[in-house]
Protein backbone atom coordinates (compact mmCIF):
# COMPACT_ATOMS: atom_id res chain seq x y z
CA UNK A 1 0.00 0.00 0.00
CA UNK A 2 1.22 3.46 -0.83
CA UNK A 3 -0.08 6.74 0.56
CA UNK A 4 -0.35 9.25 -2.27
CA UNK A 5 -1.37 12.37 -0.45
CA UNK A 6 1.17 12.33 2.35
CA UNK A 7 -0.11 14.72 5.04
CA UNK A 8 1.80 17.95 5.54
CA UNK A 9 2.93 16.90 9.04
CA UNK A 10 4.98 14.08 7.50
CA UNK A 11 6.24 16.14 4.56
CA UNK A 12 7.83 18.55 7.02
CA UNK A 13 9.71 15.68 8.63
CA UNK A 14 10.92 13.97 5.46
CA UNK A 15 14.28 15.83 5.46
CA UNK A 16 14.96 14.18 8.83
CA UNK A 17 14.37 10.71 7.40
CA UNK A 18 16.53 11.55 4.40
CA UNK A 19 19.37 12.76 6.57
CA UNK A 20 19.28 9.58 8.64
CA UNK A 21 19.26 7.48 5.46
CA UNK A 22 22.16 9.52 4.02
CA UNK A 23 24.11 8.30 7.01
CA UNK A 24 23.29 4.70 6.12
CA UNK A 25 20.65 4.05 8.76
CA UNK A 26 16.97 3.31 8.31
CA UNK A 27 14.15 5.59 9.45
CA UNK A 28 10.36 5.29 9.26
CA UNK A 29 7.23 6.95 10.48
CA UNK A 30 5.55 4.62 12.97
CA UNK A 31 2.60 4.22 15.29
CA UNK A 32 -0.62 6.19 15.60
CA UNK A 33 0.15 8.78 12.94
CA UNK A 34 0.47 6.09 10.24
CA UNK A 35 -2.75 4.44 11.42
CA UNK A 36 -4.63 7.75 11.44
CA UNK A 37 -3.33 8.68 7.98
CA UNK A 38 -4.70 5.48 6.44
CA UNK A 39 -8.00 6.17 8.21
CA UNK A 40 -8.01 9.73 6.88
CA UNK A 41 -8.09 11.09 10.41
CA UNK A 42 -6.18 14.16 11.53
CA UNK A 43 -2.79 13.28 12.98
CA UNK A 44 -1.13 14.80 16.00
CA UNK A 45 2.36 13.65 16.88
CA UNK A 46 4.60 12.26 14.16
CA UNK A 47 6.79 9.52 15.64
CA UNK A 48 9.92 8.38 13.88
CA UNK A 49 11.74 5.09 14.49
CA UNK A 50 15.27 4.47 13.33
CA UNK A 51 17.98 1.83 13.24
CA UNK A 52 20.45 4.49 14.42
CA UNK A 53 21.31 4.37 18.12
CA UNK A 54 20.68 7.52 20.15
CA UNK A 55 24.35 8.54 20.09
CA UNK A 56 24.37 8.07 16.33
CA UNK A 57 21.27 10.27 15.95
CA UNK A 58 22.97 12.91 18.07
CA UNK A 59 26.02 12.78 15.83
CA UNK A 60 23.90 13.32 12.71
CA UNK A 61 21.91 16.36 13.87
CA UNK A 62 23.00 19.70 15.27
CA UNK A 63 20.29 20.37 17.82
CA UNK A 64 19.03 17.46 19.89
CA UNK A 65 17.53 17.01 23.35
CA UNK A 66 17.68 13.79 25.37
CA UNK A 67 13.96 13.48 26.05
CA UNK A 68 13.98 9.78 26.89
CA UNK A 69 17.42 8.56 26.03
CA UNK A 70 17.23 5.48 28.29
CA UNK A 71 14.35 4.20 26.10
CA UNK A 72 16.17 5.32 22.98
CA UNK A 73 14.28 8.55 22.30
CA UNK A 74 16.03 11.72 21.18
CA UNK A 75 14.28 14.92 20.15
CA UNK A 76 15.67 16.51 17.00
CA UNK A 77 15.15 20.26 16.69
CA UNK A 78 17.01 20.92 13.44
CA UNK A 79 13.90 21.21 11.27
CA UNK A 80 11.49 23.61 12.92
CA UNK A 81 9.26 21.85 15.42
CA UNK A 82 10.84 19.01 17.38
CA UNK A 83 10.61 15.39 16.22
CA UNK A 84 11.07 12.42 18.53
CA UNK A 85 13.25 9.74 17.04
CA UNK A 86 13.27 6.41 18.82
CA UNK A 87 15.80 3.70 18.14
CA UNK A 88 14.34 0.35 17.09
CA UNK A 89 14.15 -1.71 20.25
CA UNK A 90 12.89 -4.91 21.75
CA UNK A 91 11.57 -5.23 25.27
CA UNK A 92 11.69 -8.07 27.74
CA UNK A 93 11.13 -8.73 31.41
CA UNK A 94 7.88 -6.98 32.38
CA UNK A 95 8.15 -8.09 36.02
CA UNK A 96 5.72 -5.39 37.13
CA UNK A 97 3.15 -5.99 34.35
CA UNK A 98 3.94 -2.55 33.07
CA UNK A 99 7.53 -1.59 32.34
CA UNK A 100 9.94 -3.90 30.62
CA UNK A 101 13.01 -4.79 32.68
CA UNK A 102 15.25 -4.69 29.65
CA UNK A 103 15.16 -2.47 26.63
CA UNK A 104 17.53 -3.56 23.92
CA UNK A 105 18.35 -1.49 20.87
CA UNK A 106 18.17 -3.44 17.63
CA UNK A 107 18.86 -2.69 13.99
CA UNK A 108 15.75 -4.24 12.47
CA UNK A 109 12.39 -2.57 12.01
CA UNK A 110 10.67 -5.94 12.16
CA UNK A 111 11.93 -6.58 15.69
CA UNK A 112 10.75 -3.13 16.79
CA UNK A 113 7.30 -3.62 15.29
CA UNK A 114 6.91 -6.91 17.15
CA UNK A 115 6.79 -5.18 20.56
CA UNK A 116 3.91 -2.89 19.54
CA UNK A 117 0.48 -3.46 21.02
CA UNK A 118 -2.08 -3.81 18.22
CA UNK A 119 -1.76 -4.64 14.53
CA UNK A 120 -3.26 -1.28 13.57
CA UNK A 121 -0.52 0.40 15.64
CA UNK A 122 2.19 -1.80 14.17
CA UNK A 123 2.39 -0.09 10.79
CA UNK A 124 5.35 1.86 9.48
CA UNK A 125 5.63 4.24 6.55
CA UNK A 126 8.77 5.17 4.63
CA UNK A 127 9.55 8.60 3.25
CA UNK A 128 7.80 7.80 -0.03
CA UNK A 129 4.54 6.90 1.66
CA UNK A 130 5.02 3.14 1.26
CA UNK A 131 3.36 1.26 4.13
CA UNK A 132 5.26 -1.57 5.81
CA UNK A 133 2.82 -4.03 7.34
CA UNK A 134 4.26 -7.13 9.05
CA UNK A 135 1.10 -8.06 10.98
CA UNK A 136 -1.79 -7.51 8.56
CA UNK A 137 -2.56 -4.19 10.18
CA UNK A 138 -4.04 -2.82 6.96
CA UNK A 139 -6.54 -5.69 6.84
CA UNK A 140 -7.50 -5.03 10.45
CA UNK A 141 -7.95 -1.34 9.68
CA UNK A 142 -10.29 -2.33 6.85
CA UNK A 143 -12.13 -4.81 9.05
CA UNK A 144 -12.20 -2.29 11.90
CA UNK A 145 -10.57 -4.66 14.34
CA UNK A 146 -8.31 -4.16 17.32
CA UNK A 147 -6.10 -7.21 17.43
CA UNK A 148 -3.05 -7.84 19.56
CA UNK A 149 0.30 -8.30 17.83
CA UNK A 150 1.24 -11.92 18.47
CA UNK A 151 -0.23 -13.86 21.38
CA UNK A 152 -2.80 -11.66 23.11
CA UNK A 153 -2.52 -13.46 26.46
CA UNK A 154 1.20 -12.93 26.53
CA UNK A 155 0.94 -9.32 25.42
CA UNK A 156 -1.49 -8.40 28.23
CA UNK A 157 0.59 -10.33 30.71
CA UNK A 158 3.60 -8.25 29.70
CA UNK A 159 1.79 -4.94 29.99
CA UNK A 160 -1.69 -4.81 31.47
CA UNK A 161 -2.21 -1.20 30.38
CA UNK A 162 -2.65 -2.54 26.85
CA UNK A 163 -6.07 -3.85 27.92
CA UNK A 164 -7.23 -0.30 28.65
CA UNK A 165 -5.65 0.84 25.40
CA UNK A 166 -7.70 -1.74 23.49
CA UNK A 167 -10.88 -0.36 25.05
CA UNK A 168 -9.75 3.18 24.35
CA UNK A 169 -9.15 2.48 20.66
CA UNK A 170 -12.52 0.69 20.37
CA UNK A 171 -14.17 3.97 21.35
CA UNK A 172 -11.78 6.32 19.57
CA UNK A 173 -12.12 4.54 16.22
CA UNK A 174 -15.47 2.76 16.63
CA UNK A 175 -13.69 -0.57 16.07
CA UNK A 176 -14.46 -4.00 17.51
CA UNK A 177 -11.98 -5.86 19.63
CA UNK A 178 -11.02 -9.09 17.84
CA UNK A 179 -12.44 -12.12 19.64
CA UNK A 180 -9.20 -13.73 20.86
CA UNK A 181 -7.90 -10.36 21.98
CA UNK A 182 -11.16 -9.73 23.82
CA UNK A 183 -11.08 -13.15 25.46
CA UNK A 184 -7.53 -12.46 26.60
CA UNK A 185 -8.60 -9.17 28.20
CA UNK A 186 -11.34 -11.04 30.01
CA UNK A 187 -8.86 -13.64 31.16
CA UNK A 188 -6.33 -11.12 32.44
CA UNK A 189 -8.62 -8.32 33.60
CA UNK A 190 -7.47 -8.52 37.24
CA UNK A 191 -3.95 -7.54 36.16
CA UNK A 192 -5.28 -4.02 35.72
CA UNK A 193 -4.80 -3.63 39.46
CA UNK A 194 -1.06 -3.61 38.86
CA UNK A 195 -1.31 -0.49 36.75
CA UNK A 196 -0.82 3.00 38.18
CA UNK A 197 -4.13 4.84 38.53
CA UNK A 198 -2.75 7.81 36.59
CA UNK A 199 -2.30 5.60 33.53
CA UNK A 200 -5.79 4.13 33.84
CA UNK A 201 -7.13 7.65 34.16
CA UNK A 202 -5.47 8.78 30.92
CA UNK A 203 -6.84 5.83 28.95
CA UNK A 204 -10.28 6.09 30.50
CA UNK A 205 -10.58 9.78 29.67
CA UNK A 206 -9.33 9.21 26.09
CA UNK A 207 -11.93 6.45 25.80
CA UNK A 208 -14.71 8.77 27.00
CA UNK A 209 -13.54 11.45 24.55
CA UNK A 210 -13.48 9.00 21.65
CA UNK A 211 -16.06 8.67 18.91
CA UNK A 212 -18.14 5.98 20.65
CA UNK A 213 -17.77 6.08 24.43
CA UNK A 214 -20.92 3.96 24.61
CA UNK A 215 -18.94 1.16 23.00
CA UNK A 216 -15.98 1.78 25.30
CA UNK A 217 -18.15 1.61 28.41
CA UNK A 218 -19.81 -1.63 27.27
CA UNK A 219 -16.43 -3.16 26.43
CA UNK A 220 -15.15 -2.13 29.83
CA UNK A 221 -18.09 -3.88 31.46
CA UNK A 222 -18.24 -6.95 29.21
CA UNK A 223 -14.51 -7.62 29.50
CA UNK A 224 -14.78 -7.46 33.29
CA UNK A 225 -12.09 -4.77 33.38
CA UNK A 226 -14.57 -2.46 35.08
CA UNK A 227 -14.26 -4.54 38.26
CA UNK A 228 -10.63 -3.60 38.50
CA UNK A 229 -10.93 0.08 37.73
CA UNK A 230 -11.04 2.44 40.70
CA UNK A 231 -14.51 3.38 41.98
CA UNK A 232 -16.74 2.14 39.15
CA UNK A 233 -17.24 -1.38 40.43
CA UNK A 234 -20.32 -0.42 42.47
CA UNK A 235 -21.89 1.50 39.60
CA UNK A 236 -21.92 -1.08 36.81
CA UNK A 237 -25.68 -1.00 36.22
CA UNK A 238 -25.81 2.76 36.02
CA UNK A 239 -22.82 2.82 33.70
CA UNK A 240 -24.53 0.30 31.47
CA UNK A 241 -27.55 2.56 31.37
CA UNK A 242 -25.33 5.55 30.61
CA UNK A 243 -24.01 3.69 27.57
CA UNK A 244 -27.52 3.80 26.10
CA UNK A 245 -27.78 7.59 26.44
CA UNK A 246 -26.86 9.98 23.63
CA UNK A 247 -23.18 10.18 24.61
CA UNK A 248 -21.51 9.36 21.26
CA UNK A 249 -20.10 11.39 18.39
CA UNK A 250 -18.03 13.86 20.37
CA UNK A 251 -20.79 15.36 22.43
CA UNK A 252 -18.43 15.03 25.42
CA UNK A 253 -15.57 17.40 24.80
CA UNK A 254 -13.28 17.65 27.82
CA UNK A 255 -12.11 15.81 30.90
CA UNK A 256 -14.17 18.14 33.09
CA UNK A 257 -17.24 17.16 31.11
CA UNK A 258 -16.46 13.46 31.48
CA UNK A 259 -16.31 13.67 35.25
CA UNK A 260 -19.31 15.98 35.53
CA UNK A 261 -21.39 13.64 33.42
CA UNK A 262 -20.42 10.69 35.59
CA UNK A 263 -21.00 12.57 38.81
CA UNK A 264 -24.43 13.70 37.63
CA UNK A 265 -25.49 10.41 36.11
CA UNK A 266 -24.28 8.22 38.96
CA UNK A 267 -26.08 10.64 41.24
CA UNK A 268 -23.06 11.13 43.49
CA UNK A 269 -23.32 13.27 46.58
CA UNK A 270 -20.49 15.64 47.39
CA UNK A 271 -18.59 13.01 49.34
CA UNK A 272 -18.90 10.35 46.66
CA UNK A 273 -17.95 12.83 43.97
CA UNK A 274 -14.73 13.63 45.81
CA UNK A 275 -14.11 9.95 46.36
CA UNK A 276 -14.40 9.20 42.65
CA UNK A 277 -12.11 12.05 41.63
CA UNK A 278 -9.56 11.26 44.35
CA UNK A 279 -9.56 7.60 43.41
CA UNK A 280 -8.48 8.66 39.92
CA UNK A 281 -5.88 11.01 41.40
CA UNK A 282 -7.39 14.07 39.76
CA UNK A 283 -5.71 17.37 40.59
CA UNK A 284 -7.31 19.73 43.10
CA UNK A 285 -7.99 22.16 40.26
CA UNK A 286 -9.82 19.41 38.36
CA UNK A 287 -11.82 18.50 41.46
CA UNK A 288 -12.85 22.14 42.02
CA UNK A 289 -13.87 22.59 38.41
CA UNK A 290 -15.83 19.36 38.30
CA UNK A 291 -17.72 20.19 41.50
CA UNK A 292 -18.74 23.58 40.10
CA UNK A 293 -19.62 22.20 36.70
CA UNK A 294 -21.65 19.29 38.08
CA UNK A 295 -23.67 21.74 40.15
CA UNK A 296 -24.49 23.67 36.98
CA UNK A 297 -25.45 20.45 35.15
CA UNK A 298 -27.91 19.61 37.92
CA UNK A 299 -29.33 23.11 38.07
CA UNK A 300 -29.85 23.37 34.32
CA UNK A 301 -31.64 20.03 34.28
CA UNK A 302 -33.78 21.07 37.27
CA UNK A 303 -34.50 24.31 35.46
CA UNK A 304 -33.20 26.31 38.41
CA UNK A 305 -29.90 27.79 37.27
CA UNK A 306 -29.28 30.89 39.36
CA UNK A 307 -27.06 33.93 38.99
CA UNK A 308 -25.07 32.57 41.89
CA UNK A 309 -24.41 29.24 40.13
CA UNK A 310 -23.14 31.05 37.05
CA UNK A 311 -21.07 33.44 39.17
CA UNK A 312 -19.48 30.58 41.12
CA UNK A 313 -18.71 28.50 38.06
CA UNK A 314 -17.73 31.32 35.70
CA UNK A 315 -18.59 31.40 32.01
CA UNK A 316 -16.33 28.60 30.77
CA UNK A 317 -17.45 25.97 33.28
CA UNK A 318 -21.09 26.97 32.85
CA UNK A 319 -20.79 26.42 29.10
CA UNK A 320 -19.01 23.11 29.66
CA UNK A 321 -21.79 21.97 31.96
CA UNK A 322 -24.38 23.08 29.43
CA UNK A 323 -22.65 20.91 26.82
CA UNK A 324 -23.30 17.86 29.01
CA UNK A 325 -26.99 18.70 29.42
CA UNK A 326 -27.32 18.32 25.62
CA UNK A 327 -27.15 14.56 26.19
CA UNK A 328 -30.49 14.82 27.97
CA UNK A 329 -31.96 17.45 25.65
CA UNK A 330 -32.03 19.90 28.54
CA UNK A 331 -29.46 22.42 27.35
CA UNK A 332 -29.94 26.17 27.34
CA UNK A 333 -28.86 28.32 24.42
CA UNK A 334 -25.26 29.49 24.62
CA UNK A 335 -26.36 33.04 24.04
CA UNK A 336 -28.71 32.87 26.99
CA UNK A 337 -25.85 31.68 29.20
CA UNK A 338 -23.49 34.35 27.88
CA UNK A 339 -26.10 37.01 28.57
CA UNK A 340 -26.65 35.69 32.09
CA UNK A 341 -22.93 35.95 32.68
CA UNK A 342 -22.47 39.33 31.00
CA UNK A 343 -25.35 40.74 33.02
CA UNK A 344 -23.76 39.81 36.33
CA UNK A 345 -22.81 43.08 38.04
CA UNK A 346 -19.61 41.53 39.34
CA UNK A 347 -17.56 38.61 38.05
CA UNK A 348 -15.46 38.27 41.21
CA UNK A 349 -15.38 39.54 44.75
CA UNK A 350 -12.73 42.16 44.00
CA UNK A 351 -15.18 43.82 41.58
CA UNK A 352 -17.27 44.99 44.57
CA UNK A 353 -17.07 48.77 44.98
CA UNK A 354 -16.38 48.47 48.70
CA UNK A 355 -14.03 46.29 50.69
CA UNK A 356 -13.20 45.40 54.28
CA UNK A 357 -11.38 48.64 54.90
CA UNK A 358 -14.46 50.66 54.00
CA UNK A 359 -16.49 48.67 56.52
CA UNK A 360 -13.94 49.26 59.28
CA UNK A 361 -13.99 52.96 58.42
CA UNK A 362 -17.75 52.89 58.92
CA UNK A 363 -17.19 51.53 62.42
CA UNK A 364 -17.63 47.76 61.99
CA UNK A 365 -15.22 45.92 64.28
CA UNK A 366 -12.37 44.17 62.48
CA UNK A 367 -12.80 40.39 62.61
CA UNK A 368 -14.91 37.59 61.10
CA UNK A 369 -17.94 39.90 60.91
CA UNK A 370 -16.24 41.83 58.10
CA UNK A 371 -15.84 38.72 55.95
CA UNK A 372 -19.42 37.56 56.42
CA UNK A 373 -20.77 41.03 55.72
CA UNK A 374 -18.77 41.24 52.48
CA UNK A 375 -20.11 37.81 51.48
CA UNK A 376 -23.64 38.98 52.24
CA UNK A 377 -23.14 42.08 50.08
CA UNK A 378 -21.54 40.00 47.33
CA UNK A 379 -24.57 37.70 47.19
CA UNK A 380 -27.03 40.59 47.14
CA UNK A 381 -25.13 42.22 44.29
CA UNK A 382 -25.04 38.95 42.34
CA UNK A 383 -28.81 38.66 42.83
CA UNK A 384 -29.29 42.31 41.89
CA UNK A 385 -30.77 43.13 45.29
CA UNK A 386 -28.11 45.81 45.60
CA UNK A 387 -26.44 47.96 42.98
CA UNK A 388 -22.68 47.75 42.87
CA UNK A 389 -21.94 51.44 43.49
CA UNK A 390 -19.96 52.79 46.41
CA UNK A 391 -22.90 54.91 47.64
CA UNK A 392 -25.50 52.14 47.46
CA UNK A 393 -23.32 49.62 49.24
CA UNK A 394 -22.26 52.10 51.93
CA UNK A 395 -25.89 53.09 52.52
CA UNK A 396 -26.87 49.44 52.83
CA UNK A 397 -24.23 48.88 55.53
CA UNK A 398 -25.07 52.15 57.33
CA UNK A 399 -28.80 51.40 57.37
CA UNK A 400 -28.49 47.83 58.54
CA UNK A 401 -25.33 47.33 60.53
CA UNK A 402 -24.06 50.58 62.02
For Mg ion, the closer of residues 32 and 137 by Cβ is: 32
**Binding span for ligand ATP by CB under 6 A among 114-122, 196-204, 277-285, 390-398:** 114-122
| Contacts made by residues 266-274, CB under 8 angstroms, sequence distance 24+ | 266/235, 266/238, 266/239, 267/238
Judged by DSSP in three states, 84 sits in: strand
121 binds ligand ATP (CB under 6 A): yes
Site string for ligand ATP, 47-86 (x = CB under 6 A): x---------------------------------------
**What track of x and - describes contact with ligand ATP for positions 132 through 171 (by CB under 6 A)?**
---------------------------x-xx---------
> Among candidates 175, 121, 185, which has minimal Cα distance to 154?
185
Torsion 229-232-237-241 (CA) sign = negative
Neighbouring C-alpha atoms within 13 Å toward the C-beta of 218: 16
Given candidates 20, 27, 32, 218, which one binds ligand ATP under the rule CB under 6 A? 32
In the bound state with ligand ATP, the residue whose beta carbon lies nearer, of 149 and 397, is: 149
Query: In terms of Cα–Cα distance, which of 321, 305, 301 is closest to 252?
Result: 321
- Interface with ligand ATP, residue 216, by CB under 6 A: no
Task: State the minimum distance, in angstroms, from the CB of residue 342 to ligand ATP.
Answer: 38
Query: Alpha carbon 384 to chain centroid distance?
Result: 39
> For binding to Mg ion (CB under 5 A), which residues are involved?
32, 45
Least distance to ligand ATP, CB of residue 17, Å: 17
- Residues in Cβ contact with 137 at an 8 Å cutoff, skipping those fewer than 6 apart: 35, 118, 119, 120, 121, 122, 123
The reply on whether position 117 binds ligand ATP by CB under 6 A is yes
Within 10 Å of residue 338's Cβ, how many Cβ atoms? 13
Whole-number Å distance between alpha carbons of 185 and 155 = 10
**Interaction partner, residue 388 (Mg ion, ligand ATP, none; CB < 5-8 Å by kind):** none
CB nearer to Mg ion: give 46 or 352: 46
Q: Where are the alpha helices (DSSP H) in 69-223?
A: 109-114, 137-142, 152-158, 161-173, 179-188, 197-208, 213-222
31 lines the binding site for ligand ATP (CB under 6 A) = yes
Closest to ligand ATP by CB, 87 or 121? 121
* 100 part of the interface to ligand ATP, by CB under 6 A: no
Amino acid sequence: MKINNIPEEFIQAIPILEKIEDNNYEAYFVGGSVRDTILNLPIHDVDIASSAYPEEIKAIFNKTVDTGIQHGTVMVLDHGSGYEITTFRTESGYQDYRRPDHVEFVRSLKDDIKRRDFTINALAMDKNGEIIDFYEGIDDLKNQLIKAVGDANQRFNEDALRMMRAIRFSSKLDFSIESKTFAAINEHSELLQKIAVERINVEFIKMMLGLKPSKGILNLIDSNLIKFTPFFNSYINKLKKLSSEKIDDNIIQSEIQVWSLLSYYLNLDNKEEHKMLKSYKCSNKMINDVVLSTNVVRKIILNSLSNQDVYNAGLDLTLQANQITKIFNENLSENYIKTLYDDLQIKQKSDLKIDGKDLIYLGIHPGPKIGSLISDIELKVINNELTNTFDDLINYVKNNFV
